[in-house]
Amino acid sequence: MIITEILKHGRENATRADELAAKLETTPRGLRSQIMRARDAGEIILYAPGGYGGYFLPSDDPEIAQKEMSAFYHVQAARCKHGLKAIAPVARKLGIPLGQLDFESEETL
């Protein structure tokens, strides 16, 4: 089963990760891998944190979809920024130039 066939449109229809993993008969790690593969293929799969959060596709309403995607973008950008701040001292110590990340490569240092 393909993840985008299970997910519904709109934040109000978000599916919790544990429910989604069960529907796909996979583990939480397997779920994250499937989501990453779908995103790598160009699918837009959004996530909303919190008690009523979960994974979902953008709303069918373009105006609402824009707001959902913007909210997802800003949450993820903040997480990335905090993650980069966490590794910055280590990168400096290793002599790795900050800001030189290759997002297309699977290779890690």
What integer pLDDT is reported at residue 106 of this predicted model? 63
CB environment 45-80: b (16+ within 10 A), e (fewer): bbebeeeeebbbbbbeeeeebeebeeebeeeeeeee
What integer pLDDT is reported at residue 97 of this predicted model? 84
Residue type, 104: E
Residues of the chain with pLDDT under 50: none
CATH number of 3-94: 1.10.10
